[in-house]
Structure 1
Amino acid sequence: MEEARRRRREAAEYYRGQRVPERMEEALNALFPLRPGDLYGELANYLSKYSKAPIICKLVGRKVLDGVGQPTLEVEIYCTVKNYEQRICSTVMSCHSRIPENALPETIEADEKERNDSVNAAVEWVNESLNTMLRDLEPTDQCQVDKMLGEYFANKVEEKKEIQKQVEKEEEEEEEAEAILAVTSPPPSPASPPGKKKAAKAGKKLSVEERPIPPAEPAAPVLCGSLAIGGTSLAIAKAGATISHIPLYSHIALLKHDQSQLQEPPEEITLPLPMVTLLNCEKTSPSKLKLVKEVMLIPPVQLSLRQGIERILHIQKEMTRLLESPGKMPDPQPAESKKGKAQNPGKKGLPQFLKRISHLGCLTTGYDDVEQLLLVMQTACSNIGLQLGTDVYLAINCAAHELMDYDKGKYEILTGTFKSPDEMVAMYEELIDKFPFIIALIDPLRKEDREQWSNICCALGSKCYLIAEDAATCISKLKIDQNINTPMCSGVVLKYINQTKVSDLIELTGILNGQRRITMLGSPDGESSDDSLVDLAVGLGARFIKLGGLSRGERVTKYNRLLAIEEELAKNGNLRETKLEFVAFAEESQPENQPSDELPPPEQN
């Protein structure tokens, strides 16, 4: 005992003569009064600040199923934290199907095979190349990771091009060989002089007064395995947020504002308004076409998201009741116009209720025309004491690219009813004037009809949002020299699919904000249970988020995440009020520095 005391006295005298840093001295003074159990925890927390930053040690990719039973990719991130390997997080990618309605079985089978091959290739990329390439990087360095992922993807694209060139070269050699063999045999004599009938047809086409429509742009090719790029980038972002002990939306906001991870997140955050899909309008028969693909409800900004979603649930319940029991409901009264009086909703009856929930998580129905559907919705809201345009707003996904008849050069909005692109603009003007509670039109025209997009923006831009979804093409082709390669529009729907990276979304939203266009994040058709899309929308400051309906687990999970973020921000006092403002595109409209038109506040019930 005496020896131990002597050594402590000598050590104390020694350290009294040394220059101990002030921070260390303060830390030691704070530790002395603690009990041994607390002391160890405080020492661990204090010393952990000086430990090596966590680094990526392993990536794991595997094939899983999405919300509709299709294969997709899951990426897991493992990091070395304080010399121990830990699983940090995982993400599941969503797939976007480009197969149209009523596709042939052969087309569906080919798409399923292509998707399966793409997922298998993505799993291989993650477990082999990307696992080696990203090892020992810090998960908080999103820019460096995305840069390396972009370079890797570019190399894969070049490899694909080289393979295609080689295949084309071999095909040309085979054609040349066949041509040499064909020279030895005389060509068959034609039955009739060629060219006469074709010339007559050409002359007939030239006599048509209407301007020819621009042809459809070819679909952007999707490289097999590209899911690995988007999945890895998003998984790294989630790992960076976990390592930094902040929510993913705060991490994305920091990346967007070019702030270091040591700084506090932005003081206030605006939540995106949900576009909740109420009805998925399908064909009632193989020959029946329709103008509307989705009918969505938007809650007013003055309500909290929780209140808004509860209001939409009430409308959905009443709409279901009306569609299931049409005999108990009075005929919807048409608006007072010649067109409305000419229609007889009593004869047409209610829209056909198909009694099933679509893959979008909403009710499925068919109808005779757009006005019939809107009048029924007005009745449903009126029955529960709500008014469209005051207590709730409507958005319509027109999906006009699915209605074009390229032989006639017109949109076939109903069977036998054709309209030119210019006539479509006039039709939308009449629709918005008659039903002003519609505040958003998604894909009212094809992306190739750029002149008509400009016309409809000048005519309706101050009354509703004109948003490009399919018309915005893929994210990889949106940005061209700091410009957005889309027709004139109020905003763009961005989807996190394929080779999309987090840095791409951050850059695109910055460009859109600079051009006074709104950003809207959309949920793909083949959704997964991963709710990262909501954090991306909140962190990027998106104006709207399109998640589908209020059914199906993969959809509801995202709405629940949005409500949890609202509660967290409100508790911390970081929730900023949302505003809906339209942009007047016409030259005679207000200048850019003048506030745009705002929606009227709803009546509080």
Structure 2
Amino acid sequence: MEAAGRLGRLRREAAEYYRGHRVPERMEEALNALFPLRPEDLYGELANYLSKFSRAPVICKLVGRKVLDGVGQPTLEVEIYCTVKNYEKRICSTVMAFHSQIPENALPEIIEALEKERNDSVHTAVKWVNESLNTMLRDLEPTDQCQADKMLGLWQTDLIAFHVDYIWGNLDKVNKDSVGNEYFANKVEEKKGIEKQEGGGKEEEEAAKVIPARAPCPPAPTSKPKKGGKGRKVAVEVKPIPPAEPAVPVLCGSLAIGGTSLAIAKAGAAVRRVPLYLHAALLKHNQEMPKEMTLPLPMVTLLNCEKNSSAKLKLVKEVMLIPPVELSSKQGIERILDIQKEVTRLLESPGKMPGTQTESKKGKALKALPPALKGMSCLGCLTTGYDSLEQLLLLMQTACNNIGLELGTDMYLAINCAAHELMNYDKEKYEILTGTFKSPDEMVAMYVEMICNFPFIIALIDPLRKEDREQWSSICCALGSKCYLIAEDAATQISKLKTDQNINIAMCSGVVLKYINQTKVSDLIELTGILDGQRHITILGSPDGESSDESLVDLAVGLGARFLKLGGLSRGERVSKYNRLLAIEEELAANGALREAKLEFVDFAEESQPEQLPEVLPAPEQD
């Protein structure tokens, strides 16, 4: 009786309260329906029902802090706190990957300068998150990604404009009423105080603290006259190679923009109670729930190659493995691990390599000395030296044959050529071997021969510089129907890729996108949408200085990337991402929402004929 009396009073008081607050009249009916429940059940049901009328969670606080990335270098972490049912609650955090790594063999003074620049950038980013961005984004709903990124974009624009005026001393032109007004006003007053005390003689020094100087670009090549016969010099016009585009300066502290945008996306997913990959898919498809999703194929780095000496080939930077589409991600990674174990065994015991000579399909003898294992790189893969491309391919073929696999059927290769590191601007040619130079047109012919001899190579990354647009068109027309021609360093930064609904790059099969610096989630969504409609594929890639944050995998799945380039299958910050990919695959398979991927090439030479179907790779033999 006592319990019934308490329930009756609760029902009447709740009904009167909600009538007074203009809540729907069905409230009393809902309370009557709850009346037969046990007292311990009633309060949970009532709380769940009433929570529907609570205010949506809003951001109440951002916290930025300096943390370490996967190789022990400083980077930025951003935490999001939201007001949920009148209580402050920590929702999520994200750790940004830094845009560049310090070269292993750099001079001490260069290392010191780069470390200082990195520390300054992280310190500035932490300050911006805790001050300006914390104030600007307060009370914003984390599910409103578009509005958040718009505000971040406006703040970024004001920030760049401020830097320009600040550097040139135009303090009266600084927009103090912008979204970042606290930061701007404080900086202006700080600089005016310095000028009063010291006579304003340190503009250049202060400018250097705000934004790093542009990296010097290689000198523009000039045409040279060719010598004629019999000692006569005949001036012949030689078409110069396009000079390297100047490096795009990285805004000091820009990690704050990318980190905040990604943290808000993760908070939006948490508030919606959906995984980040599904939240990203909803954002891309205007909140329409996709019925099926395709997993990106892992592009796993097996070998990170370096020169044995100053006289060794430099053409290959990474050798990557791509499993067949018919395998699940779990099966593909297990197969790659088997190959990695066998390659490690061969590298540790070079004498066990079965012979140093093989034969290509055209009957050409290939001679190669066994390479040696040199350790583990920051990419999470094996490091080795090499004498020739054929040597590396012989190693891969031998390892696969030893465990009963065949390249081209059971596994495919991708090669990162890193052509921008090969150019000799004095000679205006690529130096693929010390003393061996090739023009951009000769490079195209070399790649055509390579793919004809080794058809199991289905992707070339950065085979040319981004400035060699004519040669990019030539290589795409020659090889586009046989392999992917992908731009990574040959593409500009994400902020510069989009121009009037077009992709500002040379002709290519696809682009590697990296979430770094001032990248925003909305930028990534817009770019992938443009790439989808312009015969390009999207590859999401990890930078060298990777963090333990797994968000990149969710973004790749949600945005429909074709490949995922994460590095090797070692080092915790990279393995955690592969584990996340396997978890997403298991979840989609359990829900019946997993669609099989396809590897389709585009025949650029005949793309004007839409009736011709793209080539599809042959089905591999199942284990």
The verdict on a shared fold, with TM-score over 0.5 as the criterion, is yes
Residues 1:526 and 2:549 aligned together: no
1:290 aligns with 2:319: no
1:214 equivalent among 242, 256, 271: 242
Partner SS, residue 282 of structure 1: strand
Aligned residue type for 1:542:
A
Aligned: 1:320 with 2:339 = no
Q: Paired residue for 1:548? A: 567
Which of the residues 419, 435, 452 maps onto 1:400? 419
- 2:46 alignment partner, SS class: helix
Deviation at 1:75, TM superposition (A): 0.2
| Aligned residue number for residue 301 of structure 2 | 277
CA distance in 2, matches of 1:512, 1:592: 18
Instruction: Determine the structure 2 residue equivalent to 1:225.
Output: 253
Secondary structure of 2:505's match? coil
Corresponding residue for residue 257 of structure 1: 285
Asked if 1:308 corresponds to 2:332, the answer is: yes
**What one-letter code is carried by the residue in structure 2 that aligns with 1:211?**
K
- Describe the superposition over 1:152-194 as per-residue Cα deviations: whole angstroms up to 9, x where unpaired: 0111111111133339xx9xx99xxxxxxxxxxxxxxxxxxxx
State the match for 2:177 in structure 1: none
Long gaps (5+) in structure 1 = 175-199
Equivalences for residues 362-373 of structure 1 within 5 A: 362-373=381-392
Contact 1:71–1:119 (8 Å) recurs in 2:
yes
| Residue 617 of structure 2: aligned partner | 599
Q: Distance in 1 between matches of 2:601 and 2:362?
A: 30
Deviation per CA, 1:421-469, whole angstroms, max 9, x where unpaired?
Answer: 0000000000000000000000000000000000000000000000000
Measured after TM superposition, the shift of residue 414 of structure 1 is 1.3
* CA positional deviation for 1:22: 7.3
Q: Is the 8 A contact 1:281 1:366 kept in 2?
A: yes
User: How far did 1:353 drift?
Assistant: 1.9
Q: Within the alignment, does 1:52 sit opposite 2:71 as a pair?
A: no
Q: 1:69 to 1:287 in 2, by over 3 A?
A: farther
Matches within 5 A, 1:136-535: 136-166=139-169, 207=235, 210-259=238-287, 265-336=289-360, 340-341=364-365, 343-345=366-368, 349-354=369-374, 356-535=375-554
Contact 1:284–1:352 (CA under 8 A) maintained in structure 2: no
Shift of the alpha carbon at 1:87?
Answer: 0.4
Q: Distance in 2 between matches of 1:503 and 1:165?
A: 32
2:183 aligned partner: none
Deviation at 1:480, TM superposition (A): 0.8
Distance 1:409 1:99, change over 3 A: farther
Matched residue SS, 2:490: helix
Change (3 A) 1:125 1:592: farther
Q: Among residues 72, 80, 87, which one is paired with 1:69 in the alignment? A: 72
After superposition, the Cα gap between the structure-2 partners of 1:574 and 1:25, relative to the gap in structure 1 and judged at 3 Å, is farther
User: Contact (CA 8 Å) 2:225, 2:236: kept in 1 or not?
Assistant: no
Distance 2:131 2:458 in 1: 48
Deviations 1:263-304 (A, max 9, x none): 6x3111110000000000012124544100000000111011
Task: Give 1:592 shift.
Answer: 3.7
Q: Is the 8 A contact 2:300 2:322 kept in 1?
A: yes
SS at match of 1:316: helix
Q: 1:566 to 1:81 in 2, by over 3 A?
A: same
For 1:143, the aligned partner's letter is C
Output the CA distance in 2 between the equivalents of 1:439 and 1:201: 36
Query: Is residue 534–residue 561 contact of structure 1 (8 Å, CA) maintained in 2?
Result: yes
Deviation (angstroms), 1:108? 2.2
Cα shift at 1:585: 0.5
The whole-number CA distance in structure 2 between the counterparts of 1:578 and 1:513 is: 15
Q: Which of 546, 557, 577 is the aligned partner of 2:576? A: 557
Shift of 1:201: 11
Partner Cα distance (1:118, 1:383) in 2:
49
* Structure 2: gaps of 5 or more residues: 171-194, 202-221, 228-233
- Asked if structure 2 preserves the Cα contact closer than 8 Å seen for 1:584 and 1:590, the reply is no
Offset of residue 490 of structure 1: 0.3
For 2:89 and 2:283, the matched residues in 1 are separated by 24
Name the aligned partner's letter for residue 113 of structure 2.
A
Q: Is the 8 A contact 2:281 2:290 kept in 1?
A: yes
- Cα deviations by residue, 1:280-334 (Å, 9 ceiling, x for unpaired): 0012124544100000000111011000000000000000001111112211542
In structure 2, do the counterparts of structure 1 residues 158 and 589 end up closer, same or farther at CA, with 3 Å as the change threshold? closer
Q: 1:209 to 1:563 in 2, by over 3 A?
A: same
Given that 2:537 and 2:562 are in contact with CA atoms closer than 8 Å, whether structure 1 keeps it comes out as: yes
Query: Partner of 2:94: helix, strand, or coil?
Result: strand
**TM-score, length of structure 2 as denominator length:** 0.86
Q: How many residues align?
A: 561
Distance across 1 between alignment mates of 2:428 and 2:404: 44
* Identical positions, percent: 77
> How far off is 1:32 after superposition?
2.3
Distance 1:577 1:156 in 2: 44
How far apart, in 2, do the equivalents of 1:251 and 1:156 lie?
Answer: 29
Q: Which residue of 1 aligns with 2:115?
A: 112
Letter in 1 for 2:424: D
Question: Which residue identity is paired with 2:118?
Answer: R
- Measured in 2, the distance between the counterparts of 1:228 and 1:162 equals 21
Which letter maps to 1:93? Answer: M
Contact 1:332 1:376 in 2 (8 A): no
| In 1: Cα distance, 2:78 partner to 2:107 partner | 33
CA distance in 1, matches of 2:132, 2:470: 45
Partner of residue 181, structure 1: none
Deviates more, 1:559-568 or 1:288-297: 288-297
Is the contact made by 1:277 and 1:548 (CA closer than 8 Å) also made in structure 2?
A: yes
Among 27, 31, 48, the residue aligned to 2:30:
27
Letter in 1 for 2:87: Y
Distance 1:500 1:396 in 2: 27
Q: Secondary structure of 1:412's match? A: strand
Query: What's the TM-score, normalizing by structure 1?
Result: 0.88
Query: What is the CA RMSD across the aligned residues, in angstroms?
Result: 2.7
Aligned residue among 122, 127, 134 for 2:125: 122
Select the residue among 67, 76, 81 that pairs with 1:78: 81
Contact kept, 8 Å, 2:313 with 2:387, in 1: the verdict is no
Per-residue CA shift, 1:27-81, capped at 9, x if unaligned?
3344223211121111111111110000100000000010111110000000000
Closer, same or farther: CA 101–20 of 1 in aligned 2, 3 Å? closer
